[in-house]
Homo-oligomer: A and B are copies of this chain.
């Protein structure tokens, strides 16, 4: 059994209260006593029990991250940010992956309690409307990473603006025939695709362009589906010269599908994505960058502030987007 605070106190010849004070950096201890106790602690390799401390203080050094589809590259980057920030602050992170619509409520109910964690992060995760009041008044504070929920603190981006930025980049290069590839709404997850599509439409309209209905594709977020989309687009009598994809993952596949049939990127077809995943740079893919790692880190920081009370009230922060022009977009070739 590991040593307890009583063992330390006895060996140091002081009371447990004194040991507790040095542990909690109370100023009410003389330097001499403090140094002595610290030495004993070191000598015995003593560490206070998380459990006992938590019980006594009524709060634990644990954050809970509830992540929607943890395995996506973007969720992973956000998680990294959360982990780094939390561990820098000395907090452990409990991870819950949400697969099923049905179980998320139980997870929230059972996990987001003071005896399990001191705060919760909801990542790319849209609670039911009826659950929002519960979350807002939850005994432990909650921050939404990648989402804008009325009444809840969180970080988000302007997806519509992002869709517009991508499209306007293409328009600025001289493209007139611009298609869009996105995906369907997900029952529990946010799916930003439709907002980005709205931004696309807004940019198209703003430039006075007309686009055929067949230029807008959406379906499951799967490789084969995206391949089919790009092929259908290129099979059109009047194929697009550029494609806005609602995510880098779509853009990559679209570019690959185009190249596979001899359509050169960017010579014959410009492709722009969304996210700026690590591979986007390697693939030389133009994209709209959204801060992924940073959203996790700032979300965790916001949560810690909220817990500490140094943040007056829950607030929503919009993070900046950035157009990253790389080699997958270029002016349309003169012959087109």
Number of A interface residues at 8 Å Cβ cutoff, please give it.
Answer: 36
Residue A92 at the chain B interface, CB threshold 8 Å: yes
Tell me whether A2 and B114 are in contact in the complex, defined as CB-CB below 8 angstroms, given that A70-B80, A83-B95 are known contacts: yes
- Chain A residues numbered 49-75 whose CB sits less than 8 Å from any CB in chain B: 49-52, 54-55, 60, 62, 70-71
Chain B residues near A195 (CB, 8 Å)?
none
Query: Is A326 interfacial (CB 8 A cutoff)?
Result: no
B80–A87 CB distance below 8 A: no
Q: Are A223 and B282 in contact (CB under 8 A)?
A: yes
What string of 1s and 0s marks CB contacts (under 8 Å) between A162-204 and chain B? 0000000000000000000000000000000000000000000
Q: Per a CB cutoff under 8 Å, which of B49, B84, B282 touches A224?
A: B282
Query: Which residues of chain B are near A93, meaning CB under 8 Å?
Result: 94-95
Q: Closest residue to A222 on the B side, CB-wise?
A: B282
User: How far, in Å, is A59 (CB) from chain B's closest CB?
Assistant: 9
Cross-interface CB contact of A51 among B60, B76, B83, B87, cutoff 8 Å: B60
Closest to A107 in B: B87
Q: Which residues of B lie under 8 Å from residue A308 when comparing CB positions? A: none
What is the bound-complex CA distance between A93 and B92, given in angstroms? 10
Contact for A54 among B51, B92, B111, CB less than 8 A: B51
Q: Does A221 count as interface, using CB distance less than 8 angstroms?
A: no
Q: Decide yes or no whether A47 CB sits under 8 A from chain B.
A: yes
Closest to A67 in B: B83
* Cross-chain contact B80 with A50 (CB below 8 angstroms): no
> Distance (Å) between the CB of A245 and the closest chain B CB?
17
**A301 CB within 8 Å of chain B:** no
- Smallest Cβ-Cβ distance to A227: which chain B residue: B282
C-alpha gap A50/B51 in the complex (Å): 9
A51 CA to B61 CA, complexed, in Å: 11
User: Is A139 close to B, CB under 8 A?
Assistant: yes
- Asked whether, in the complex, the Cβ of A47 is within 8 Å of the Cβ of B110, the reply is yes
List 15 other contacts, CB 8 Å, given A2-B113, A71-B76. A2-B114, A2-B139, A50-B116, A51-B54, A52-B115, A55-B55, A70-B76, A70-B79, A71-B77, A80-B97, A83-B97, A87-B96, A92-B94, A94-B94, A223-B282
> Which 10 residue pairs of A and B lie closest in terms of their CB atoms, listed nearest first?
A49-B115, A51-B115, A223-B282, A51-B55, A92-B94, A95-B95, A50-B115, A51-B54, A50-B116, A83-B97
